[in-house]
Amino acid sequence: MAGVNRFINSCVACGNALKWIPVVFIVTVIVWSYYAYVVQLCFSKLQSCFLPIVFYLVIYHVLLVMLSWSYWQTIFTPVGTVPKQFRLSAADLERFEQAEGLEAHQQILEQIARNLPALTRTPIGPRYCEKCVHIKPDRCHHCSVCGVCVTKMDHHCPWVNNCVGFKNYKFFILFLGYAFIYCIFVAFTSLPYFIQFWKVPVMHANEIPGTGRFHVLFLFFVSIMFSISLVSLWGYHIYLVLHNRSTLEAFRAPIFRSGPDKDGFNLGKYNNFVEVFGDRKSHWLLPVFTSMGDGVTFPQRHMDEDEDSLLGARSQRWMEEGGVENTRLETNPYHVVNLDPLVQTV
């Protein structure tokens, strides 16, 4: 039995190690691009083009630092997990497991969800995760790779070996943006030398000698290839931010009591942007956490008086129980008109 457990643990460890292969690939490309651009291109041209090359090096290193910082934050920021208040108690779980029939299960979940600020639901009742044994907060989904429910989950990204959700969504968007600008900068600044390589003999006095020539040629092609793929992905996520949707919500609209609505959390483009990037403009371009809210409660676009009263009471009980932690939304998150700075309505 001990041998079987060791074998299983070894397989799990190997599986976890394999998940890092895409990250290692990205890091390897970045390290190689540094060698090709700084060592092979810039240093070889430093004497003949001093001022332009120094300018290139300064801009390049700024972009590299911001790219690496954003990538690090995306990878190593822990995913936002569901607060313990959403978990079924031992008594509720026993009652839920002993109940027979779907209707009985849904009635129990409805009773439990009455004290929780959960707006979205399935077509038949509250959203419930059988693996994590809790009611799902709004915009929360279970990740089969991470094995937990992630708050405001967007998707699981193998290139960062992490889920992209409430805690690191800003970092992910900044990573895509800085990676695109990095690739475009490298491509445009290496373009003149790329053209020169096809016109000037290899052993020309001002030419880059040896294998450096091929490093720079390959650098230009790789930067163009990555920039093409990055611009579409980055543009798509900017679109999602401005419409306040996650990737999962774009494919399957969240269901409210009034029915499915892809724009249920849409507060207007500026408010949507502020919800992700925060109200401090000086921090928008920095990979530091400034997102609004707690990842559990979110303002809605539309809400009738009955829902407003019901969910306002839930929110009050939720806050009294200490459910809101590290939140920057100091007012009732269900009143869009009272939010600060989310003060505009659609």
| Catalytic status, residue 157 | yes
Backbone angles phi, psi at 229, to 5 degrees: -75, -35
Choose the catalytic residue: 132, 157, 163, 183.
157
| Long-range CB contact pairs, 319-326, < 8 A, 24+ | 321/85, 323/83, 323/85, 323/117, 323/296, 324/294, 324/296, 324/297, 325/83, 325/294, 326/294
Comparing CA positions, the residue from 249, 345, 337, 333 lying closest to residue 297 is 333
Comparing CA positions, the residue from 161, 195, 159, 194 lying closest to residue 179 is 159
Sign, CA torsion 91/93/97/99: positive
- Give the whole-angstrom CA distance, residue 86 versus residue 245: 23
Active site residues per annotation: 157
